Amino acid sequence: MNLYLMEYTNDHKHVYGNISLQAMKNRIVDIQNNAEVSVRYMQEWEERILEQQEAIENEYLDLIRKKLEKGQSIKQIAEILEIDVDEIEKLIKKLK
């Protein structure tokens, strides 16, 4: 709770009297005010999002491949996975 209060509020009365909390709060403020750190943080955030999207797409590709091997149609696959037929067709092209 103290870390949350330190990072997301301007209420500093919980920090006073505790040297380690004061030092931690000062470090958090330094990081928040450092443009270079902010840029690196955003780049890392974007990379994680891209990795998650890629993992989700790979799961869909695997599911689609399995369903095609079982002889299901594109329309059936789209209904099962609740994805538009056009999106399924785009993913199938990536399989080839």
Tens of pLDDT, residues 31-43:
878 888 878 888 9
User: CB of 54 within 8 A of CB of 47?
Assistant: no
Q: What is the pLDDT of residues 25-74, one digit of tens each?
A: 788 888 878 888 878 888 999 999 999 999 999 999 999 999 999 999 99
Report, as an integer, the average pLDDT of 63-89: 96
pLDDT of residue 76 exceeding 80: yes
48 or 11, which is more confident: 48
Report the pLDDT value the prediction gives residue 11, as an integer from 0 to 100: 55
Report the pLDDT value the prediction gives residue 6, as an integer from 0 to 100: 53
Check the CA dihedral 33-39-45-49 and report its sign.
positive
* DSSP states of 4-51: HHHHH-S--TTTTT-HHHHHHHHHHHHHHH-HHHHHHHHHHHHHHHHH
23 or 16, which is more confident: 23
pTM here is 0.58
54-58-63 Cα angle (round to 5): 150
Long-range contacts of 1-9 (CB under 8 A, 24+ apart): none
